[in-house]
Each structure stands twice: as C-alpha cells, then as structure tokens.
C-alpha cells in the first residue's frame, strides 16, 4: 500500500526524533559526565549528527511531501502537526549544511573552553571563541531575516518563540520598565527595615542532594523516567521518556541548589507529561521556550517561594540539617523571599531578574543586528548593570558577561523567554487559583494534585497543538499581559 | 580536486566512527545511568542508528570504492586499513537491514527485562525473550556461513576473532582439558590444607570506590579521558578519547569490585593507548576481543594477583579500611590467589574460569548450529557445571544461565575470547618478563612504566595493523600456545 505524503512525513520525523534522542543524551553527558579529554571527539560527533539531521530534514522530498500533505484529509491534530513540521522544515532549509556544522563546532569549542576560562576570568580568550560564534549567528540571522522579511534579531527570536517579535517584546518590556524599577526600590527599602538571620553552613552536598530529591518527589517528578545530576550550569535535558535535570551545589549555600532543583523540576514535569500518542512528531513537543520557562517559574517562584509551600518544606529542611535561628519560620520565609540585586542571573530573585534579561536582550539584539561588536559587550554590560541594579562588573567578566552559557552556543534570541516565562507563570497561577478555591489549603497540606491536574489539562497535555497565544488564551481567558506579573510581585513584596 | 577511492572510504569511516561515538555513549548511559522508563525509547533510538550505520556501510558505492582503492597506491598502514574496511563492509553487507534492526531491538528488550528477571530467577520470562534473540542470531549465522563457506558458529566466531575457527578452538581447548581438571584438583587440594581468614566487612561503597580510583591511578588510567561508574554487569565502554569503565559494589566483599576495576582498567588502557593518527579508521581500533581480554587479564591476573603487586597494594587497603587479621600479608596474598570453584563466571578464579568458558562455548555452539534449543540450556548448564566444578544449578537460573548478559544481546561467539585472552595474557607476560629482567623489583616498587611501555610498544600502538597471529608472533616470538597459561597456573597454584 502506498504511503500518503503525511505518513511519509511522520515516518521521517519519527526517525529524526530518534537521532535527536541520541544527541540529547550525548549532550547531557557532555555537561554532566564527560571528562575534559572527551571534548573534541564529542563535539565532532554531535556536529556530524547535526549535519545528518539537517540533511534529512531539508531533503527536497520533505518539501514535496509537505505540499502533498496539505492537500490530504487530515484531522485537527494532524493539521497542527503538519504546521509544526513545516515550521521545522522551513527553519532548517534556510541554512546551508556547512553553516550548521560550523555553528555546532564553534559552539562546542566555545562552551568547552568557557569551563576553564570563566573561573580564570579570561575574557580575552573567551571573546576570541565568542567572535566566531557571533559571526556564524549573524550569518544565520541574515539568511533567516531575508527569507522571512523581518529584522535579523526577530528572525532568531522566532526560533524560540514562534510569532514573537521585538516590537511586541518592546511593548511588554516598556510596560515592565514603567513600574519595575520603582517596585524594586520599594521592595528593597521595605526589606531593609528588617535584619534577617542567614542560614549557617556547611550544608554537605550529599544531604543537599537528598533534600533536592525529596522536593522533586513532593513535586511529582517521575524517577522512573528521569534523574538528578550535577553540572556547572543547571539545565533540564534528555528526552521526555528520560528527563535529565542538573543542579550545582555550594556547601555554604543551602537554598540555591534547592530552588534550582525545584525550577528544573517544573521543566521536567512539562516534558514528562507531554502527549505521547504521536511518537516522534513535533506536535507532541513543548510549545516554546517561554512556555517551558513558565512551567519552571510556576514551580520555583509562584509555588515554590509562596509562604504556603515554604512552610510545608521547612520540616524537611530542619530534619536533614538540624534547627538553627535562620530556620525560625518567619525568618526562613522572609529569607527565601529576599530581594537582593546581585551579579548572577540564575541566583537572582524574581524582582530583579527581569533586569538581567532586558540587559541581555538589548545587548544581543544590538550584537546580532550589527550595531555593536563582541568587544563592546563588557562596557555595555557594566553600564546597564549600574543603571538597573547599581552594581559594577568592571573587569569582573566571570560574574558579568561570562556567567551565562547561552551565547556560547549561539542561542541568541533565547534570553527574552525567561521574562516572558515569568509573566506567563504569573498569569497561569492567577488562573489556576481562580479555578481552585482550595489551593492554599491544599498546598499547606502538601497536596498538589489539583494544581498539577490543572497544569496538565491546560498546558502539558497539549504539546504544540496550539499556538502560544491560543494556548494561553484557552488557559487564562486572555493573551499574555504583564499585569499579572506586576500584581504578583506587588502582593508578595510590597 | 577529485578524491581517490581510498579517501572516499576514509571519509565514510570517519563519519561512521562519529555516529558510533554517539551510540557508544548512549549505550554506556543505558547500562550505567538510565532509569527504567527510558528503556524503550533508548532501544528504538539505538536501533534506528544501527540501521543508519548499516545503510552507510553497505552502500554499493562503498564496495566500488573498495575495489577501486585496491588498485591505488597505498602505504602499509593504508593497506591494513583497507583490509579492515573490507572486512567490516563484507560482514555488514551480508545482513539485511530488517535483521539488523530486529536484532538490536530484541537485544535491548531482552537485556532490559533481564535486569528484573535475574533477581526474580524468572527463567520462564527470560527464555521467551532469549528465544527471539537466538532465532535472529541463527538467521544471522546462516547468512554469514553461506557467504563464508563455513559452519554457522564459525561464522559468528569470526566477527569477534578474525581467523579463529572452532577447529582451532577445539584443539586449544582439548589441550586445556587434558591438564586443567587435574591442575584444578591439585590446586584445590593444596589450598585445602590451609585455613584462610576471610576479610570482615562491611566495606563501605564510597571507600571501595576511592580504593578503585587509586588502583586505576597506580595503573596509569587517564582520568582526563575516562570515568569509573557503576552498572549491574561491569564493562569497559565509551570511546578511546573517553573510556567509561564500570564495576559493582558489595559492602560485604572487598576484592570483587577492586579486581573488577583492575580488570576493566586493562581494557581501558588498551583503548586509551590505541593509535590516533588515522581518525575514525578501523586500523586504529583494538585488534580483537581476545586481544582486548588479554589486556584486562594481563592487568587483573598476571600483574594484579602476583605477589609483588598484591604486596604493593596492601598498605593502600589497610590505610582505607584499617588493619584486620585477614590483611596479614601471607593470608591476604593467599586469599587473593584462592582457587574456589563457584557459580559466577565474573567472580571466578583464573584456574576454574576456563570451565565457565568451555561450558558456554559448547552450549552456544550447539544452540547456533541448531543441535539444541533454548529450553535445553538449564539442564545442559547443570550437567556441565556438575562435571567441571561439582556444582548444581538446578532451578537456580539466576546463578546459572541467567548470570551473563552476552547472549541477551546476541553476542554468540564472544565467550571463547575470555579463555583465549587468558592464554594470550600468560604468553605476553612471559615475553615481557623475559624482556624486562628488573620486572619483579619494579612492581614491588610500584614502578610499572617499563611494563606498560612494553605493552604499548608490542600491543597497544598497533591497533589493527597486523593480524592477531602476526601481532602475537611479533610480540612473543610464536603464535598462540596454551603452554604459557599452563606454566603460569602451575607456578602460581601448585
Ligand atoms: Zn529554566
Ligand atoms: Zn574483560
């Protein structure tokens, strides 16, 4: 029996998803397990695989199947899947193979060297590698922009956030900028009136790990299909059937790793609860990076740092590390809701976090659009950090522009997702609370089932069936608005 | 510039080696890291990859390039490489894609289920999966045998041990059988005259791991290009640039994990010291499984259990676990040179080990040649264990025919390598000692550099440049003979 065009496509994408499985695990390994000497061979292996998948995906035949499938009789899910297939095909077809391979190689090289360059504060060395990554990303942006008829930066943004534009982003961030600096100042001032007792370590790594595993269990992480490990830069990787999250431990700091784990658990639960009815098909992938981040921030910020959840968590902490003055309930809650502008984005509180993102957004947009060069980054970074948070990063590259891993991989266009995610999370939590009047009592009793059912029903189970706008409108009654994020911050911090 | 046929081949094999890199790491992960829920997706991903590499390797074009390259002007190494390329091509071309995929899937399924079936002693469940593996392996053997004009079992043997035949194996094993039972009886009798003090645990896993890492360091393992982890069945995997060895710990048993680590370190050093001048080319791969095993047994048995090495190791053991009567030097050496026939091959002493191998060899040959069926295995196993070692495995599948992982993956033809390896190891150690008069003194001082240089020069650096016979003749002055193994056992145990 002759296969339909649509069947040819699903077979091709199933095959691609299996190759992507191997790359995902090898990438996780690269960050979590691999010794330094394996770096070059691993980079080459992953690059070879990205060339292969690029070849398969961009085969002219795929384009013909897409054209054919559009005339075929498809149900709603298949139609949505075809649309995603088309999006992936078009995105990939714009790039010549040589560029794909060069980007993958340059990214691996830059990331690998960063691991030793960052502790050495070696901007000189790092920027050499980064220049190559930027050069290749600009080439990519140019090709994409010409095909889509948009600005170069918008063309990259579209990879992570389909339908998002810098015009819309500018509007959302302008809203934010109109009230956030004032809110940040007032929150900081309010908190300055109270002296908090800092937790006193050491907090042994092994015990921190056990606590993290316990939090993952509370939050429904499926250990039959996932793991917790360590990497320099925490992330959620692997595949939906086997989700790998990582964190990093500091024996003097208890809550950084713990909330890192809770954050990645939000990402993981999204992955673990994506639909599985259409094996290997793009329609069962996560909707976008901002929606992904909304799930991790839902877990970390909306739920995780709420007074009800913190209170629920406290006995587990005391049980493992013994009691101490910092763990007096009021002090402990206040400590975990501190607003304390700092250098490091991943350790930032949710009020100052958007500053880190807007800063990077403005720099990376200028970088891709060719308005600035790699050499200009440290000065711009310092200026913007001074303006937003009053902190100087002059000469301190390690805690400045070398703190992140995103640019090393050429992931320009990704950073806005963090703050979009925070906004989506607030909007979703608001809707969930409206739908679940018992929510606070449930959380206090450690019963998150209704909340997770709500997420499963409204977000997780849909994969990429709907556009982001549709998805968020179906779930909350309206498209993305910054006002729920503002209301959340005001309620918690003012 | 037009590429030569030979260049086309090296480019293709470089590409294949990169894909194989990803499969190797994903396989290591499957055994050492993966949670159970990831099993099906991983199995499918690896199977898809084996289909792909099979397609690339068996492309008609490859055959044409081989024919063309044979007419080209090649140096010695290139000529050896071409011969290996041809061997891989012919071996792969014999199998239809569907069989390759089915074998990979059935192997993954069987291995995965084995993990829970073995502890449950579930032969009924296990044999169902194994039947499918045997069925596919017989199909494979039939195809290979027809093409090579040899017996079915010989056709599988040839994959692991090029140029080895069951006729030659029968001669070597007949030699062994003529003196080993008597030697085993005399050694057992001799040792029975003395009562040994058993080490008393518990020996915490974390400390055992540290001791293992220290032994690896003593033995020159390059941690910049490798790791030590845990798996149900110890193995050496990964890629030469990043070698992954595993062990398993039992808190009541100190030496099992330790000598397991020393064994895998032998495999690892071979991999880590293979030539790297011809990236991705088969000529830089290990020569054969028996030569591989000769390196691990060189480390574990020839060197590791020698009195000189054991004595050198002792202070490290006492330092970590404290002193106890079992660690009195004489008792400790005798304990680690015990001959004690048991059920488990991987825990066997070197005198009774060949019994385990010959037993499996006879069963797997009959199974592949169609003389017996899967149902017959337990009875045959029990009979042969009774005859060789006086042990009954009736109803005890877990410690009988379900103890190994090789058959689950369809690795029929592999087992003889273990005893061939033991023979090669004894022959090599004999030659090394003749070349290095200072050897015992060096070992006693913990200086293994001359010994490892000898291995590097005679084995490691050659990869697959020479046939096994040539390699061993160059290194020791003659082809494989069982008499060095006999002399070694007699010297140590009688
Ligand atoms: Zn995140
Ligand atoms: Zn071995």
Q: What is the pLDDT of residue B2?
A: 87
Q: What is the pLDDT of residue A346?
A: 84
Residue A232, pLDDT > 90, answer no
pLDDT digits (tens, 9 = 90+) for B58-86: 999 999 999 999 999 999 999 999 999 99
Nearest-CA distance B157 → chain A (Å) = 30
Residue B246, pLDDT > 90, answer yes
**Model confidence at A2, in pLDDT bands (50, 70, 90)?**
confident
Residue B199, pLDDT > 80, answer yes
CB A9, CB A64: distance < 8 Å: no
Residue B372, Cα to own-chain centre: how many angstroms? 26
pLDDT digits (tens, 9 = 90+) for A264-275: 999 999 999 999
Q: By three-state DSSP, how is residue A33 classified?
A: coil
Q: What is the pLDDT of residue B95?
A: 86
Provide the ipTM. 0.91
Instruction: Give residue A30 CA to ligand 1 midpoint distance, Å.
Output: 19
**Residue B264 bears catalytic tag:** yes
Active site residues of A: 264
Which ligand gives the minimal distance to the CA of A264? 1
pLDDT digits (tens, 9 = 90+) for B175-186: 999 999 999 999
Taking CA atoms, what residue in A is nearest to B47? A18
With a pLDDT cut of 70, the percent of chain A lying above it is: 100
- Comparing CB atoms, the residue among B25, B49, B224 nearest residue A37 is B224
The residue annotated as part of the active site, out of B84, B264, B271, B300, is B264
Judging by beta carbons within 10 Å of its beta carbon (0-12, 13-18, 19+), is residue B479 exposed, middle or buried? exposed
**Model confidence at B439, in pLDDT bands (50, 70, 90)?**
very high
Residue A1, pLDDT > 80, answer no
Average pLDDT in chain B = 95
CB A262, CB A300: distance < 8 Å: yes
**DSSP single-letter state for residue A250:** B
Q: How far apart (Å, rounded) are the C-alpha atoms in residues A36 and B55?
A: 32
DSSP states along B37-96: GGHHHHHHHHHHHHHHHHHHHH-HHHHHHHHHHHTS---HHHHHHHHHHHHHHHHHHTS-
Taking CA atoms, what residue in B is nearest to A18? B45
pLDDT digits (tens, 9 = 90+) for A136-181: 999 999 999 999 899 999 999 999 998 899 999 999 999 999 999 9
pLDDT digits (tens, 9 = 90+) for B319-357: 999 999 999 999 999 999 999 999 999 889 999 999 999
Q: Please provide residue A302's backbone torsions phi and psi, each rounded to the nearest 5 degrees.
A: -65, -50
Domain parsing of chain B, residue ranges: 5-150
Determine if the peptide bond prior to A358 is cis (ω within 30°): no
Taking residues A339-358, what's their average pLDDT? 93
Q: What is the pLDDT of residue B232?
A: 87
Nearest-CA distance B24 → chain A (Å) = 10
Beta bridge partners of B243: B226, B238
- Comparing CB atoms, the residue among A19, A42, A242 nearest residue B34 is A242
pLDDT digits (tens, 9 = 90+) for A354-409: 999 999 999 999 999 999 999 999 999 999 999 999 999 999 999 999 998 889 98
Q: What is the pLDDT of residue B261?
A: 98
Which ligand gives the minimal distance to the CA of A415? 1
Query: Given CA atoms A464, A468, A469, A473 in this order, what sign does their dihedral have?
Result: positive
Q: What is the pLDDT of residue A405?
A: 85
Instruction: Give residue A267 CA to ligand 1 midpoint distance, Å.
Output: 7
Taking CA atoms, what residue in B is nearest to A25? B26
In terms of residues, how long is chain A? 494
pLDDT digits (tens, 9 = 90+) for B380-421: 999 999 999 999 999 999 999 999 888 998 999 999 999 999
CB A268, CB A28: distance < 8 Å: no
Q: What is the pLDDT of residue A123?
A: 97
pLDDT digits (tens, 9 = 90+) for B92-109: 998 888 898 899 889 989
Contact criterion met (CB < 8 Å) for B33 and A227: yes
**DSSP single-letter state for residue B279:** T
Q: What is the pLDDT of residue A409?
A: 86
Contact criterion met (CB < 8 Å) for B21 and A41: yes
Q: What is the pLDDT of residue A100?
A: 84
Residue A457, pLDDT > 80, answer yes
Average pLDDT in chain A = 95
């Amino acid at each position: 029996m002759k296969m339909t065009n649509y069947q040819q496509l699903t077979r091709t994408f199933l095959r691609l998803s299996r190759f992507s499985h191997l790359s995902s695990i090898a990438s996780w390994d690269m960050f979590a397990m691999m010794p330094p000497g394996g770096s070059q061979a691993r980079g080459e292996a992953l690059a070879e695989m990205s060339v292969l998948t690029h070849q398969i995906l961009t085969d002219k035949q795929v384009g013909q199947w897409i054209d054919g499938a559009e005339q075929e009789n498809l149900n709603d899910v298949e139609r949505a899947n075809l649309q995603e297939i088309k999006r992936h095909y078009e995105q990939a077809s714009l790039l010549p193979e040589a560029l794909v391979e060069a980007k993958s190689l340059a990214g691996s090289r830059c990331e690998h060297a960063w691991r030793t360059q960052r502790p050495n504060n070696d901007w000189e060395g790092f920027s050499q590698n980064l220049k190559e990554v930027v050069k290749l990303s600009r080439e990519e942006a140019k090709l994409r922009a010409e095909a889509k008829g948009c600005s170069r930066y918008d063309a990259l943004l579209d990879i992570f956030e389909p339908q998002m534009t810098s015009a819309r982003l500018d509007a959302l961030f302008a809203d934010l900028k109109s009230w956030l600096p004032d809110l940040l100042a007032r929150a900081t001032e309010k908190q300055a009136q109270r002296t908090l007792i800092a937790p006193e370590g050491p907090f042994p790594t092994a015990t921190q790990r056990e606590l993290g595993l316990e939090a993952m269990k509370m939050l429904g992480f499926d250990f039959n299909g996932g793991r917790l490990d360590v990497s320099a830069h925490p992330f959620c990787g692997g595949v939906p059937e086997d989700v790998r999250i990582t964190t990093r431990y500091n024996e003097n700091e208890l809550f950084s790793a713990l909330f890192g784990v809770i954050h990645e658990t939000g990402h993981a639960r999204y992955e673990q609860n994506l639909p599985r009815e259409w094996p290997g098909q793009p329609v069962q992938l996560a909707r976008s990076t901002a929606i992904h981040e909304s799930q991790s921030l839902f877990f970390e910020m909306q739920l995780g740092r709420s007074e009800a959840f913190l209170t629920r968590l406290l006995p587990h902490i005391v049980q493992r590390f013994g009691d101490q003055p910092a763990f007096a309930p009021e002090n402990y809650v206040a400590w975990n809701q501190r607003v304390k502008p700092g250098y490091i984005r991943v350790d930032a509180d949710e009020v100052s976090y958007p500053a880190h993102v807007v800063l990077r957004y403005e720099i990376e947009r200028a970088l891709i659009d060719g308005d600035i060069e790699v050499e200009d980054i440290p000065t711009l970074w310092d200026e913007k950090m001074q303006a937003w948070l009053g902190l100087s990063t002059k000469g301190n590259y390690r805690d400045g522009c070398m703190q992140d891993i995103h640019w090393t991989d050429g992931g320009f266009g990704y950073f806005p997702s963090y703050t979009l995610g925070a906004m989506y999370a607030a909007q979703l939590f608001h809707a969930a609370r409206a739908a679940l009047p018992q929510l606070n009592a449930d959380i206090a009793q450690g019963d998150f089932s209704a909340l997770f059912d709500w997420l499963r029903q409204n977000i997780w189970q849909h994969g990429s069936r709907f556009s982001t706008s549709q998805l968020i409108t179906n779930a909350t009654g309206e498209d993305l608005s910054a006002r729920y994020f503002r209301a959340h911050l005001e309620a918690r911090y003012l």
